[in-house]
Amino acid sequence: MTPESVSKTVFENGLRLLTRDVPSSHSVAVGLWVESGSSSEPTDQAGLSHFLEHLLFKGTPTRSAREIALQVEQVGGMLNAFTGREATCFYIRVLHSDLPLAVDILADIYHNPLFDAGELEKERGVILQEIKMVEDTPDDLVHDLLHRNLWGDTSFGLPVLGTAETVHALRREQIVTFFRRMYVPSRSVLAVAGRVDVSEVERRARAAFERRDPRPGGANGSSSPPSYRRARRTHERELEQVHLCLAYPAFSETDPRRYALSLVNTYLGGGMSSELFQEVREKRGLVYTIYSFLSLYREVGYTGVYAGVEPNGLNACLGVTLHEIRKVAREGMSAEALERTKAQVKGQVSLGMESNFNLMQKLAKDEFLFQRHVPLEEILASIDAVKLDDARDIAAQVYGEDGLAMTLLGPAPAAEDLVRLAE
């Protein structure tokens, strides 16, 4: 099996197994993915998916919460999970010889969670502390506020963690009902990357997961994603800096134009050599941190810029930032800059594929988005295929003045003044 070869098996119950052997590795990353995230939740139950993620580690009939952690950690492994807006992942990283343990534990928490009432109440307190931690981290919080400003009080706009009010209100029966509806094999992927015997992985995964499941499953609980809102809002708080996020509407994560937009985004603010870093930080010393980013999802997306700046430098920072964005929208990139950025992005993608954890994530995401594995060679070829006119056109389309949204957190000007600042 070549390093880029991926094996896919669909079990009778609908669960998909994706395996990639990396013979040179000493470890393996095993991820159990469920196509269900915060956008699947009713708005009055925001945070339900994340709460459920926590509870699956809190014990089964044969393992306590401590035993789950101990069995992985005593072989030097690690286990964790994360919830996004469109999927939830539970993963274990271990030496390749401990693959059977990883598969067994993931199957156990998937099939047999206890949802113990006492553990649920303790975990509620943990999650409320996690929400407070984000509220005390303004460079994280401003992104949640931006997302909510763009998409409103919808399941897509509310924080993945939920709010203190919704987490307080969640009941055990709501969590169990959601689990039974969404955590079904037809919505699940087991992704394995590392030094493995593919036939052994399939045998063990079948034994652990290919049982007929009584849970019938159901449709995604979310409605269609809401329309992008050109919101310009400030959130007043006593801080040393103003945390600034700008946003422009883009498109879905499957759109072929994503390659051109990725190049423009990297050129604009994707590193120390980027236009924004050089102009705002290096030449003028206005900020410590500034970068651009892409947030693309199954059906919608946006691109944005983050900066943290002291209040008396806000006008200058915003002015230079908007100047650079408008410049790339108007002029695009030079041929030399395009080739340089292509090399940068291709290098970043290739280096990322040296991590079993990243490979595991890519297996699942490719399956959810494209229903097939997208080889590295295809990605690199698609980046190379972007022409100068493609980059210029996508910059002009995305960074239009009528799409600019803005969110500020800190000692910021009133919302009505943001229009003037953006002129």
For 56-98, what is each residue's pLDDT tens digit?
999 999 999 999 999 999 999 999 999 999 999 999 999 999 9
- Tens-place pLDDT, residues 253-276: 999 999 999 999 999 999 999 999
225-237: b or e for each residue (b if 16 or more CB lie within 10 Å)? beebeebbbbbee
Q: How confident is the model at residue 248 (pLDDT cuts 50, 70, 90)?
A: very high
- Tens-place pLDDT, residues 277-325: 999 999 999 999 999 999 999 999 999 999 999 999 999 999 999 999 9
* Beta-strand pair 301-309/290-296: antiparallel
- Would you say residue 1 has pLDDT above 50? no
d(CA 267, CA 341): 6
* Beta-strand pair 88-95/242-249: unpaired
Secondary structure percentages of the chain, helix, strand, coil, to 5: 50, 20, 35
d(CA 136, CA 20): 40
232-422, superfamily in CATH?
A: Metalloenzyme, LuxS/M16 peptidase-like (3.30.830.10)
Contact predicate 405/145, CB 8 Å: no
Query: What pLDDT score was predicted for residue 106?
Result: 98
What are the beta bridge partners of residue 83? 88
Q: How confident is the model at residue 218 (pLDDT cuts 50, 70, 90)?
A: low
For the chain, domain boundaries? 6-209, 232-422
> Would the CATH topology of 6-209 be identical to that of 232-422?
yes
pTM: 0.94
Positions annotated as catalytic residues are: 53
Q: Which of 368, 398, 390, 87 is nearest to 228 (CA)?
A: 398
- The amino acid at residue 149 is N
- Tens-place pLDDT, residues 327-353: 999 999 999 999 999 999 999 999 999
C-alpha distances in Å from residue 214, one per residue of 13, 114, 184: 10, 16, 9
6-209, superfamily in CATH?
A: Metalloenzyme, LuxS/M16 peptidase-like (3.30.830.10)
